Chain A
Amino acid sequence: MLLRVENVTKSFDGFVAVNNFNLTVEQGQMACIIGPNGAGKSTAFNLITGHLQPTRGRIFFRDREITGFPPHEICQMGVGRSFQRTNIFPRLSVFENVQVAVLSHAKKTLNFFTPAKQLVQDETYQLLEDVGLVDEAQSISGTLSYGFQKQLELGIALASEPELLLLDEPTAGMSPQETASSIELIGKIARGRGLTLLFTEHDMDVVFSIAEKITVLHQGEVLAEGLPEEVRANPEVQRVYLGEAE
């Protein structure tokens, strides 16, 4: 078991955003959290990656408790993530965006004197190739199209060679074509690297096309959990969520 979230509750000044949340993700699984807006998906992610501290409950990664760890330590342990609002280094070139992540993973960021340009070029170009951005290597990342920026963010996340990759709405704001190609890319990379994937998504086609396990959140609580078919067939899920979306 790669990730285990046990009875986690998070409340903000009395408002309970996530209540008694349980989740397990197996090695190599593609798991998905769905739920309407405000269901607590992003909060759940932020709890797992240490951006928020749970009010109650415990979180384990590879059977090691990570509750209360700061984000950078959780990242170093092998958890990568992308953010819902695109989160890149806008004034740096595409190459530098990925390079700085590679440098950090290689523990070279305390090198004060070697020109960084010369370092980890092969690794960086390999990652850019994987996410299809080699041609854009020297572009300033802030000028890229939205789809490219999402791809870049994936590249940054992959640079730390995570075992578990958390993607928060990887296709939010994309056109149908962009969505299709980016899901294909994510699936290919995850399988190629043997990654475990946990993502949130609002597009049901996407969810049912690649998820192996779905957790439905509703008002901060787990409403249903299981294989895609089971979840789709669950009457309660249909009532609160799938029905609304149609």
Chain B
Amino acid sequence: METPQTTSTPQRAGSTPRSPEGRDKVIWIFVAVLLLLFWGPEFILKMAWPEYWITFLTEVFMWSLFAVAFNVLMGYTGMVSFGQAAYLGIGGYTAGLLLKKIAWMPFYLGLVAAPIGGALAALILGYLCIRRTHIYFAILTLAFGQIVYLTAFKWYDFTGGDNGLIGVPVPEWVQDPTFSNYYKFVLVIVLIGIYILWRIVNSPFGKTLTAIRENPERTGFIGVNVQRYQLYAFIVAGAFSGLAGARMMVHERSVYPDLAHWTQSTQVLLMSLLGGVYTFFGPIVGALILLTMDADITQDYPEIWQLFLGAVLILILYGLPGGILGFIQERDFASTDDYATRMHKAVSVFARKFWFFFAGMLVFTAFFSILLEPGSWLLSEEWEFELTAIQTWGIVPRTILQAVVGVLIFSAILRGVKAFSQACRLLMLLFALMPVGLHIYLGTPLSGILISALLTLFVYVNLLQADVRQAFGRQHRAELRAAPSAQ
């Protein structure tokens, strides 16, 4: 079967790219993240940033693990569970009860027991839930989740009931005043947990789960026992949720039934939806965003928080149904296009999405700032106005300035990108770091890091990955410039 070729471009990208046998390169990303974040507490203390950021980041890590585990179920297997917090609670209580009731129990053994407890619970409850599909499945998970919650809530003799299980013995080193050691402890465990999940979802087992999500009927007729694999997915999600639950227990040195409450389940559902259910790292992005918004807004304006969350969710569900990371990763796959057309499409789609992203970020941060400082529309309430210092400007002029400067810089770079200029492609990546500088200057480094990380990822995924990267190579570039553009 012949595909029409408009130019004499070499091999179409991806006609038969066979992956070499060998190690998984993603482990280096995990190592890099570990190295980057490991000295986070020291860095935060040195920069004299608020100490609670250490606890905040720790919480983001724990929720990330929980959300990624949950997404194995929702995003990869296509089973929407409303009761995932049950396994969070069971993990927490397993570790807590073992450590508290059995005096000789070593700390680490108690923690290892948590995922096992989560997995066992998932085996039993999952076995009952997967008998039904779709909404019936969802309701069953919710029902069983609430049973777990109420058991913990009412069983005073065993779990301490609504008083919680207080005073779980944890080692001295966890309890340092700034929680730095705890931060590192959680970071390492969470990264290991997420890496294992990464391997799982990319293994043949994980591929089978995706197949089930896509089409359970067909999956049955490639010889897969669908219900059994759904149960396995349930167990995997339960085990890692249990692991996350134990981390939360260590932090507070106590376990409360609230850990298993259904609102926790919806929280993790929202994180996955926000970040993107069809991506592995989406739930992490979702956890980061949700917790950032939660931390910043709930403190000062608890009454607006729900409203704000609702607005963001509606925007995401309508505007970016694949979630934020889904939007970043999605590419235009028209199978019948030839190489040149595909590459031109790839970069012009990138440009279009970039503007959308840029506008979205500006609107988002402006909205965010207005909620935080409602009086600062035109002039800052906090600072004396000074023309040379941007942080003294009001939100509207500040946003307009960012928009104008951004448009000027980025349209120049994007023109270069469209002409397949290597330098502009790298500039793009470099400029993605600009928001960090700006936001540190404005005194909101957290959101700066968040935005820059998303932008960098966006540029990386769209311009620096495999097939598109090829197009920027010297040989291909010349041919692509000559090829009729696919506008």
Q: Which residues of A contact B (CB under 8 A)?
A: 49, 51, 70-72, 75-76, 80-81, 83, 87-92, 96, 99-101, 103-105, 108-119, 121, 125, 132, 134-140, 143-145, 148, 156, 159-160
Contact = CB atoms under 8 A, between A and B. Distances in A.
Interface residues of B, number: 43
B204 A90 contact: no
Interface in B7-22: 12-22
B202 interface: yes
For A51, A72, A87, A108, the residue with the greatest tally of chain B CB atoms inside 10 Å of its CB is A72
Given A111-B205, A132-B1, A105 B211 contact: no
A92 B1 CA distance: 22
11 contacts: A51-B217, A70-B220, A80-B221, A89-B211, A99-B207, A116-B204, A116-B207, A134-B16, A139-B333, A143-B335, A156-B218
A80 to B, nearest CB: 8
Given A121-B18, A138-B17, A143-B333, A114 B203 contact: yes
A125 B210 CA distance: 20
B333 A109 contact: no
Contacts, number: 134
Interface stretch (B48-56, B222-230, B287-295, B474-482): B222-230
Contact of B199 (A96, A99, A112, A119): A112
Contacts of A159: 222
B24 interface: yes
Contact of A110 (B20, B205, B335): B205
A119 B214 CA distance: 21
Contact of B223 (A104, A110, A111, A112): A104
A144 B218 contact: no
A89 B20 CA distance: 25
Contact of A112 (B200, B217, B333): B200
B223 A75 contact: yes
Given A103-B207, A112-B199, A119-B204, A75 B218 contact: no
B278 interface: yes
B interface secondary structure, majority: loop
A119 B208 CA distance: 13
A51 B13 CA distance: 40
B215 interface: yes
Given A92-B214, A135-B1, A137-B16, A71 B220 contact: yes
B221 A75 contact: yes
B435 interface: no
B215 A117 contact: no
A100 B205 contact: no
B334 interface: yes
B3 interface: yes
Pick from B21, B220, B225, B335 the residue with the most CB of A within 10 Å: B335
